[in-house]
Amino acid sequence: MAKPDIQQVKQRFGIIGNSPDLNRAIDIALQVAPTDMSVLVTGESGVGKENFPQIIHQFSHRKHGTYIAVNCGSIPEGTIDSELFGHEKGSFTGATGERKGYFEVANGGTLFLDEVGELPLSTQARLLRVLETGEFIKVGSSKVEKTDVRVVAATNLDMITATRNGRFREDLYYRLNTVPIRIPALRDRKDDIPLLFRKFASDCAEKYSMPSITLTDNARQMLKDYYWPGNIRQLKNITEQISIIEQTREITAEILKLYLPANEVGLVPVNTQNNEQKNFNNEREILYQVLFDMKKDMNELKKIVHDIVAGNMKAADIVSAPAINKSDKVLTPMVVNANDSNAVTPISIKEDAHTIVPKSGIADVDIIEAPEYEEETLSLQDVEKDMIIKALERHNGKRKNAAQDLKISERTLYRKIKEYNLENL
């Protein structure tokens, strides 16, 4: 069978845009569709990953079979195994009857596992077995059952980092990632942004029987320069907001600016970013980097003070010591000799009493010995635990609101609370 035309596929599945990266992703999906290879669709939240499993299913020999889409992040950890693999009657409290899982129901078809990176490790082991052998065991059963399911997974996580941190099994990652499909972010498809805006504006006008809104040249450029952290989903929401709220149908840059938030994480114009700057995915990464920098600065300062007290550095070395912080100011522990403005005297710092004394130059002052220098390490677990505690306190223990505040799924928050023994908060 000849491979379908990409433009026809776009029309069938409502995909807007002519970005080379987007076309490449569609082409890969069409090429892999006739096979039974596992596919991993990656990309930021809101880029439209859900379209690609449907493309793969519809152009495969399984198109007449069952297609099931499962959001792994929305299913509680205690029931995810039952949902995917089924359970026997009486296997756990509330199991009043036998239940078929998605792998059994979708036999001969396609199973789309969205947010696969949120699966618990125990479920990941079960999933790996299904992918490798086609076998699974229901919860509460000892009977091995067979299934013939094509698995397509999707995630917005950095899976390499997740495997390194032990959050995702490395063997499962490579098994799912047989064929990777990367969906570009909206900011990487600048020329597609006005096309999508026009489509959403037209749909909204038709739905509510009103004239469609249009953009001036300046507004169109502002739309293309925006960072779009929420990608297509955010663009659609803003387009519908403007269509409903604004009376004028021609949208200027001044009007558009009112609807583009400027105080959210990651919301900066694309054309003002420095290529050498580090991009941060969320608030926690920024906090971690700040804490690491602060800890590094403190450790370097402690080491210099220790070397001064131990006699390993001279005054001349202190003056030429490298900067401790990231600014142009040099933080050097020294005092100026009152009798000679050009002379400097190394100092010893006692942290508990905040006492500063010169190492030499004043005969009747005892030198306070600095403690042995030990480099302290910053635990990401401690930082994460502290952030969870503060979020729960801010929202009076309401876990749903705390999860939204932390930009993580509610199930992930429940797992972290259990991991850090925070159930009593």
* Residue 230 confidence (pLDDT) above 90: yes
Q: In this structure, which topology does domain 380-419 adopt according to CATH?
A: Arc Repressor Mutant, subunit A (1.10.10)
pLDDT per residue over 202-223, tens digit each? 999 999 999 999 999 999 999 9
Confidence label for 23 from pLDDT (cuts 50, 70 and 90): very high
Q: Dihedrals φ, ψ of 151, to 5°? A: -105, 125
Answer for the pair 39, 32: CB distance below 8 angstroms, yes or no.
yes
Alpha-carbon Rg for the chain, nearest whole angstrom, is 29
| Maximum average pLDDT range among 326-340, 358-372, 386-400 | 386-400
| Burial class of 388 by CB neighbour count within 10 A (0 to 12, 13 to 18, 19+) | buried
- The backbone region for 387, taken as left when phi is positive above 0, alpha when psi lies in -120 to 50, beta otherwise, is alpha
* Segment 145-158 mean pLDDT: 96
The strand pair at 67-71 and 110-114 is best described as parallel
d(Cα 359, Cα 368) in Å, to the nearest integer? 8
Distance (Å, rounded) from C-alpha 198 to C-alpha 187? Answer: 17
* 150-155 and 110-114 beta bridge pairing: parallel
Mean pLDDT of 158-162: 93
* CATH hierarchy code of domain 6-184: 3.40.50.300
Q: Is the pLDDT of residue 399 over 90?
A: no
Region 30-58 average pLDDT: 96
Residue pair 368/379 in contact by the 8 Å Cβ criterion: no
Given this model, what pLDDT does residue 309 score?
67
What pLDDT score was predicted for residue 378? 53
pLDDT digits (tens, 9 = 90+) for 59-82: 999 999 999 999 999 999 889 999
Between CA 390 and CA 369 the distance in angstroms is: 38
Among 164-173, 244-253, 287-296, which is the least confidently predicted range? 287-296
Tokens 């296997």 sit on residue? 91
User: Which pLDDT value is given to residue 357?
Assistant: 44
What is the average per-residue pLDDT within 360-384?
53
Residue 377's pLDDT is 52
Mean pLDDT of 343-368: 44
Note the pTM of the prediction, 2 decimals. Answer: 0.62
Q: What's the distance, CA 48 to chain centroid? A: 16
Q: Please check the confidence at residue 273 and state whether its pLDDT lies above 70.
A: no
Residue 332: pLDDT over 50? no
Q: How confident is the model at residue 200 (pLDDT cuts 50, 70, 90)?
A: very high
pLDDT at 21 over 90: yes
Instruction: Classify 187-272 by CATH class.
Output: mainly alpha
Residue 128 CA to residue 25 CA, distance in Å, equals 25
Rounded distance between C-alpha atoms, residue 410 and residue 11, angstroms: 36
**Distance (Å, rounded) from C-alpha 201 to C-alpha 179?**
35
Burial of 106 (0-12, 13-18, 19+ CB in 10 A): buried
User: For residue 255, what pLDDT is reported?
Assistant: 95
Token code pair at residue 47: 């880029």
> Which range, of 3-17, 136-150, 320-334, averages the lowest pLDDT?
320-334
Residues 399, 404, 406, 407, CA torsion sign: positive
Per residue in 108-134, pLDDT tens? 999 999 999 999 999 999 999 999 999
Annotated domain spans of the chain: 6-184, 187-272, 285-358, 380-419
Segment 123-152 shows an average pLDDT of 95
Strand-strand pairing, 355-358 and 344-350 = antiparallel
Q: Give the span between the Cα atoms of 62 and 64, in whole angstroms.
A: 5
Whole-number average pLDDT of the chain:
81
User: Quick one: pLDDT at residue 327?
Assistant: 42
More confidently predicted of 310 and 419: 419
Three-state secondary structure string covering the chain? CCCCCHHHHHHHHCCCCCCHHHHHHHHHHHHHCCCCCCEEEECCCCCCCCHHHHHHHHCCCCCCCCEEEEEHHHCCCCCHHHHHHCECCCCCCCCCCCECCHHHHCCCCEEEEECHHHCCHHHHHHHHHHHHHCEEECECCCCEEECCCEEEEEECCCHHHHHHCCCCCHHHHHHHCCEEEECCCHHHCHHHHHHHHHHHHHHHHHHHCCCCCEECHHHHHHHHHCCCCCHHHHHHHHHHHHHHHCCCCEECHHHHHCCCCCCCCCCCCHHHCCCCCCCCCCHHHHHHHHHHHHHHHHHHHHHHHHHHHHCCCCHHHHHCCCCCCCCCCCCCCEEECCCCCCCEEEEEEECCCCEEEECCCCCCCCCCCCCCCCCCCCCHHHHHHHHHHHHHHHCCCCHHHHHHHHCCCHHHHHHHHHHCCCCCC
